[in-house]
Amino acid sequence: MIKKFFKDITGITAIELETARKEQEILDAELKDNIRKEKAAEKKRLKKEIETDKKLSPKEIATKKKEPWVDVISFNVNKENIRNGFYELDWNELFILQLRQEGYGFDGDPDEEIVSRWFRDICLNAAEAEDIDMDERPSGHINVSKLQDSGDN
C-alpha cells in the first residue's frame, strides 16, 4: 500500500501506465502489420493458384475439385460403313469410383470395361428414348482399348 502511494506521488505509476500503453500500441501495430502481411501473402498465393488453374485442363480442374469427370474426346464415323463409328472417352478416377458406386464395376474390373458398360447404357437409353427397336437394328461391337495413361485415369 505504501509502495503504491509512493509510486503515485512520485509519478512512477503514470510513467508505468504510459509505458504499458506505448508497449500495447507497439504490439497492436505489429499485429496489424502481421495481419497485413498475411493478407498480402494469401492474396499472392490465391493469384498464383488462379494463374495455375488457368493452365489446367477441364479434367485436371475437376480432379482438383474432387469431382467425377468424363468427356468425349472424339467421335468418328467409319467411311467404309457409315453405320459404324468409334469414339474416344477420357475420365478421371473419381468418375470410375462413381460408376462403381452405381453398380457398373466390380473389384478387379478394368476401368475401360466399367466405362464401356456405362456408355452402352447411355447409348441404349438414347435409342429407347427415340423408340428405336434395338432387336431390329444391325449391331456392331464396342472395341475398347486403353490410351496412354495421363496419370489419373
Q: Residue 115: what residue type?
A: V
- pLDDT, residue 43, reads 92
- pLDDT, residue 7, reads 76
CA–CA distance from 114 to each of 2, 24, 36, 81 (Å)?
A: 88, 65, 51, 27
Q: What is the pLDDT of residues 3-37, one digit of tens each?
A: 887 777 888 888 989 999 999 999 999 999 999 99
Q: Give the torsion through C-alpha atoms of 107, 111, 115, 118, to 10 deg.
A: 0
Q: What is the pLDDT of residues 96-126, one digit of tens each?
A: 999 999 999 988 999 999 999 999 999 889 8
Contact call for residues 27 and 19 (beta carbons, < 8 A): no
Say whether pLDDT at 93 is over 70: yes
Cα 64 from Cα 49, distance rounded (Å): 12
pTM of the model: 0.59
Say whether pLDDT at 151 is over 60: no
Q: Residue 139: what residue type?
A: S
What value does the mean pLDDT of the chain take?
86
Beta carbons within 10 angstroms of residue 153's beta carbon = 20
Instruction: Give the pLDDT band (50/70/90) at residue 152.
Output: low
- Reduce the secondary structure of 65-113 to three states and give it as a string: CCCCCEEEEEEEECCCCCCCEEEEEEECHHHHHHHHHCCCCCCCCCHHH
